[in-house]
Amino acid sequence: MTFPLKTILIDDEPLALSRLKRLLEKHQDTFVIVAEAKNGAEGLLEIDKHNPEVIFLDIEMPLLNGFEMLAKLTKMPLVIFSTAYDQYAIRAFEENSVDYLLKPVENDRLLKTIDKIRNILQAGFKTGESKNPYSDNLLRLLEEMKPKKEIFSLSVKSGDRILLIPLTEITHFEAEEKYVFLNTLDGQKYLLNYTLTSLEEKLPAHYLRISRAGIVNSHHIKEIQKHFNGKYMVVMRDRKVSQLQSGSTYTEVIRHLLDN
């Protein structure tokens, strides 16, 4: 790959865009700016048109934000995030993108980005490929930062009917051999078509995995009793006063409950 690298700037703030452009023009041996865009939708069009090797990408933008835009790319250029919001997971940026720049961007910091780009290219990175370590890491970052879709109920089959059980009425889930069962405050028990692992991903944070075989709704815990070998017995508020034993590798979850 030869320098300068075809570069696109994507940012909805005119002042930030012009500042970044002025800085990059000081480094014409590294970057040649082929296009600018003021939102993710325009960014997609410009990327498709110019097939850039590098993009400088803002995150908070109208129409499509930076993450949403990246998720629509089939080929990933080198991505440098630029953002004024350090509440975004800076560590995640460090691990999953080429670099990130906090606004206002300073030339000294940009020089470090240039060094990183040159090191990456010397290591054999090829932009425009659909599969490479940086595109894989970015896609992983996008997936991790997706907000969980909020759910309010789970569906279960009961004979010929499908029932919607509100999460507020569910006390716990238990795995028995190859099956997972949902348990409710009124003592009912229903077979589910989910694994406990998939439930962990769907459920709100107050549902806690306390063993390989159990997830409890912490809002419906009646008491926690010490058990043998550092384990605990979690007693629920359902009609059956169900008891679930914690697993030895889930002790910290129980201790966190006890500390609250």
Domain closes at, from 145, 177, 207 = 145
- Our count of domains for the chain comes to 2
Residues 118 and 163 in one domain: no
Residues 73 and 198 in one domain: no
Q: Give the pLDDT confidence score for residue 215 in this predicted structure.
A: 97
Residues 157 and 139 in one domain: no
Written as one string, the DSSP assignment of the chain is --SSEEEEEE-S-HHHHHHHHHHHHTTTTTEEEEEEESSHHHHHHHHHHH--SEEEEESS-SSS-HHHHHHT-SS--EEEEEES-TTS-HHHHHHHSSEEEESSP-HHHHHHHHHHHHHHHHTT--TT-S-SHHHHHHHHHHHHHSPPPP--EEEEEETTEEEEEEGGGEEEEEEETTEEEEEETTS-EEEES--HHHHHHHS-TTEEEEETTEEEEGGGEEEEEE-GGG-EEEEE-STT--EEEPPGGGHHHHHHHHH-
Residues 71 and 175 in one domain: no
Residues 167 and 121 in one domain: no
Q: Residue 230 is part of which domain span?
A: 153-259
Q: pTM for the full model?
A: 0.54
Query: Which regions in the chain score pLDDT beneath 70?
Result: 1, 85-98, 124-149, 260
Residues 120 and 235 in one domain: no
Domain closes at, from 145, 178, 203 = 145
The domain that contains 129 carries what CATH number?
A: 3.40.50.2300
Q: Give the pLDDT confidence score for residue 217 in this predicted structure.
A: 96
Domain closes at, from 118, 145, 172 = 145
Residues 128 and 183 in one domain: no
